[in-house]
Structures are given as structure tokens and as C-alpha cells.
Homo-oligomer: A and B are copies of this chain.
Amino acid sequence: MSVVTIERKVLEKNDTIAAQNRARFAQHRLFVFNIVSSPGAGKTSLLERTIEHLKGRLRMAVVEGDVQTDFDAQRVARYGVPVVQIVTHGGCHLEARLVQDALASFDLAAVDLLVIENVGNLVCPANYDLGEALKVVALSTTEGDDQPLKYPGMFRNASVLVINKIDLLPYVNCDVATIRRHALQINPALTVFETSCTTLAGIPAWGEWLAAQVAAARA
């Protein structure tokens, strides 16, 4: 039995559980996205700004995935949003089983939008379906504009690209038009947003797009 065979079995088992999660989300007409990025690209800050933007309009819940610590869950919990922290203890991605276990802590009937914040890793989480409606990849302008070509798997499997930290553009060697061109070359179907969690630029457009996705899931 080869390593490759084992790996395929792991992915097949993951896909089975992801399908169960997806059926459960559909039953509750819940919109769920899985947000992925490099470490430090600003996923948690983006969630904080998103929660502020949608406050009082949508009931959000968050699953936080981290290799270690519950810092991100603590940050989100301050906003009064239900949050469950998954610590992978060295694991480089979330798997559907971990999300399934986390769901037991939520009253899904009281949630409109569930966000799964994956482990900071632009490689491994690309291959693991968690049952989400779509993957959002966040990319910081400080990472440079060739990232979509260097890490194509993630950009191919995502439906949305959020180009974050656009307030730092004057100080870094990065061109947003080049990021867009490279990302769309890998995946022409990507929806692209540009955001800053410091200036709040782009947060309303992103937040309203999310609200529309939630409305569509409810319809």
C-alpha cells in the first residue's frame, strides 16, 4: 500500500464528511465560506471588519482554525459572535471531520452566515473540502504580485479573491492590476475585492456581496 493510495483515501473520506456538512448547511439554508491565506494576510482582521459591517443585519458564527493558540477566537468572541476554536496541534489545514465536530457547539437554526477561518497556509488547505459554499482566498499586498502564479492551487480552487492591506500599496513593491491579471489567468471566474482593514476601503462592497450571498441561500 503506497503513500499515494493512503492520501487518496484520506481525501475521499474527507469528501464524504464534507458532503454531510454541506447537506446540513443546506438544510438550515446557511451560507458558509472557508477563508484561506498565508499566515498574517489579515483573515481575522477582515472577519472583524465584516462582523462590524453586518452587525444587526445578519447572525454570524465563526469556526477558527489554528495550528496553536486561541488568539483569533478570542478576537472574534469580543464582538459577541458565537465562535469555536479548532487547534490542529501542528496540522497544516482543517479537515471536514474537525468542522463537523465543531458544528455541535452551534445552534445552526440561529445562524445566517458561517465563516470557517482556515489555518494560515497557502498550499495544503486547497485540497480539503469542508462543506463550504465557496472558498475565499485573502492575499496581502505585502506578499507581492506574483503569488497567484506561485501558489496556483489555492487560486484555482477559490471563488473569491480578497486583496487585503491596500493601504500599504504606497510602501511596497506590488501592483494590484498585476495581482488581478495573474489571479484571473489561473482562474478567470474569480470575483475580486480590494480591502483595507485599517482605512475600511472596500469593506462595504465585500460586506454587501456577502449579504447578497446569504439572501440567495435563504431564498
**A6 in the interface (beta carbon within 8 A):** yes
**What is the CB-to-nearest-CB distance from A126 to chain B, in angstroms, rounded to a whole number?**
8
The residues of B that contact A168 with a CB separation of less than 8 Å are 142, 168, 171-172
List A148-203 residues whose CB lies under 8 Å from chain B: 149-153, 165, 167-168, 171-172
**A103 in the interface (beta carbon within 8 A):** no
With A71-B150, A119-B123, A151-B68 as known contacts, state yes or no: A143 contacts B92, CB within 8 Å. Answer: no
Q: How far is the CA of A144 from the CA of B72 in the complex (A)?
A: 12
Are B40 and A124 touching (Cβ within 8 A)?
no
**A131 in the interface (beta carbon within 8 A):** no
Identify whether the interface residues of A are mostly helix, strand, loop, or mixed.
Answer: loop
The residues of B that contact A153 with a CB separation of less than 8 Å are 67-68, 90
Question: Residue of B at shortest CB range from A72?
Answer: B150
Question: Residue of B at shortest CB range from A124?
Answer: B92
Are B40 and A147 touching (Cβ within 8 A)?
yes
With A6-B6, A10-B3, A167-B171 as known contacts, state yes or no: A69 contacts B149, CB within 8 Å. Answer: yes
Are B123 and A122 touching (Cβ within 8 A)?
no
Q: How far is the CA of A171 from the CA of B195 in the complex (A)?
A: 16
Q: Can you pick out 8 interface pairs between chain A and chain B where the beta carbons lie within 8 Å of each other?
A: A38-B120, A39-B143, A40-B140, A40-B142, A67-B151, A68-B153, A120-B123, A171-B171
Identify the A interface with B (CB < 8 A). 1, 3, 6, 10, 38-41, 66-69, 71, 90, 92, 119-124, 140, 142-144, 146-147, 149-153, 165, 167-168, 171-172
